[in-house]
Amino acid sequence: MTEFYGLPSPQHFWHWPTLIHFALVALAGGAAVVTAVAHITKHPKVRTYALVTMVLIVLDLFTLWIESPARFRFTHVWIFLAFTPTAPIWLGAWGLTISLVASFFVWIGKGPRLLWSAALVVGSLLALVYPGLALAVNVNRPLWTPVLLVLFPLTGMLTVVAIAALFRQAWAPRWLTVLSLASAVMGVVYLFALATGAAEARQAYAYLWSHGGPWFVVALVLLAAVPALVRRAPIAAALVPIVGATLIRSLIVEIGQVQHFGF
């Protein structure tokens, strides 16, 4: 039996606004990647994509500011005055900022094309990859495994491609199928790696299972169902992966905050 005097108990240090941020940053990073590809391939709708990217990034940054306990201390400027490339949040902040600036110039159609292409490639990749990295670096939290380095960018791209499918972009349905299946496979790999891992990973797997595991399975089933829906019910095929991908990301962020399995 264990009792505590004065435990600070930061078991849940990120709350529901953070889940909204993880959903929005998936869209923002994914949209930035789409804008980068559209800019490089001279897609006729690149300006629209750039505008959507800007709106999503601004919305995400606003959510981050709202949820920050330091929102009225305005200390966030220090991110841009420091050089901390080992910090995933620093990488993400720069990725989003670079994507925002480059998208703005693509939208107004000004500036050197090559520069904005390069900026969009670098910025969008940073923005897309950093959420998974921000979790995976915490080796002390066994539910945040290196598999997230692949699963989070995949689900991020999936949500934005699903939005594009919803707005009937011709290129979207094919990618919707590919990304849904890839995300579902990585979701299974994530569970399998936990279930067959070391003792702490297995305890974390049991914890995940008892704290929302069935919802994880629901999300996987939704993702796996997308190829069957793409032709028959295109709107459902676009909505279903948004729900599935957001559910998976939210469950991992929320439940994964625990540690001390077997400790």
Nearest distance from residue 257's CB to another protein, in Å?
7
**Residue from the set 51, 122, 137, 178 that interacts with another protein by CB under 8 A:** 137
Q: What is the DSSP string of 202-239?
A: HHHHHHHHHTTHHHHHHHHHHHHHHHHHHHH-HHHHHH
The 14-53 site mask, x for binding another protein (CB under 8 A), equals x---------------------------------------
Nearest distance from residue 27's CB to another protein, in Å?
20
**Residue from the set 41, 42, 44, 86 that interacts with another protein by CB under 8 A:** 86
Q: Which of 249, 248, 247, 227 is nearest to 238 (CA)?
A: 227
Give me the amino acid identity at 122.
Answer: V
* 134 touches another protein by CB under 8 A: yes
* 82 touches another protein by CB under 8 A: yes
> Residue 5 burial by CB count (10 A; 0-12/13-18/19+): exposed, middle or buried?
exposed
| Closer residue to another protein in complex, CB, 11/221 | 11
Q: Total residues contacting another protein (rule CB under 8 A)?
A: 45
Question: CA 201 → CA 113, 197, 219, 259, distances in Å?
Answer: 47, 5, 21, 10
Pairwise CA distance, residues 180 & 224, whole Å: 7
Contacting residues toward another protein, per CB under 8 A: 1-11, 13-14, 68-73, 75-76, 78-79, 81-84, 86-90, 93, 134-135, 137-141, 257, 259-260, 262-263
